[in-house]
A and B are shown apart, each in its own frame.
Chain A
Amino acid sequence: SQKIEQNSEALNIQEGKTATLTCNYTNYSPAYLQWYRQDPGRGPVFLLLIRENEKEKRKERLKVTFDTTLKQSLFHITASQPADSATYLCALGGGADGLTFGKGTHLIIQP
């Protein structure tokens, strides 16, 4: 069965540094990959979508890469700020089952 892995442990980053989150997958060939942000007690909020034929996508301080050979996506937040602290979810799509979400990585940006 398809499996999505995100860092299970919290990621602690110092303010101003670049935070890099990883999303690995197996037994799947997604046509699309999405990243969402979720704050405690709130619904996920869409951040970026990247297609299988795209290697990189940027939006302001955010950058996503998608390597279909490595079966991996990296999510970068540059010049990180305490307000970036949240849980980040990756989601894979392109099959008949719609979007499949990872469990998320909890990011903590320390002042």
Chain B
Amino acid sequence: DADVTQTPRNRITKTGKRIMLECSQTKGHDRMYWYRQDPGLGLRLIYYSFDVKDINKGEISDGYSVSRQAQAKFSLSLESAIPNQTALYFCATSREEWNTGELFFGEGSRLTVL
């Protein structure tokens, strides 16, 4: 079983719909992250959380919100999806400080907004 699990793996939705992407991990890490990957733009940080009570905005947080329900669960929401949010979304965890330790990524959630 994967250590970092994302659901759904694929989702097609319409403009204006609310979407939630879920992430759960069995690695016991406190630090969790949501990234977005677009062709030609690379990985960009949306939100990150260093523990259950800590939520921080990343580079591109506009249009997104997150919830850290437990140490193992970190959800990303799009309140009103728009086509330019079509992308591949990755959840990641780390054991150490985020700029020293490795990140463990999930398999990704491919979101298409029509």
B12 within 8 A of partner (CB): no
Residue interface mask A39-51, B partner, CB < 8 A = 1: 0011111100100
How many residue-residue contacts, CB under 8 A, span A and B? 56
Tell which of A42, A44, A49, A89 has the most Cβ of chain B within 10 Å.
Answer: A44
Q: Is B64 an interface residue (CB 8 A)?
A: no
Task: Indicate if the CB atoms of A95 and B99 lie closer than 8 Å.
Answer: yes
CB distance B105 to A45 under 8 Å? yes
A24 CB to closest chain B CB (Å) equals 14
User: Is B52 engaged at the interface, CB distance under 8 Å to the other chain?
Assistant: no
Q: A36 vs B94: C-alpha distance in the bound complex, in angstroms?
A: 14
Q: Is A34 an interface residue (CB 8 A)?
A: yes
Q: Is the CB of A42 within 8 A of B108?
A: yes
* Partner-A contacts on B (CB < 8 A): 4, 33, 40-45, 48, 58-59, 90, 92, 98-108
A interface list, Cβ under 8 A from B: 31-32, 34, 36, 41-46, 49, 89, 91, 93-95, 97-99, 101-104
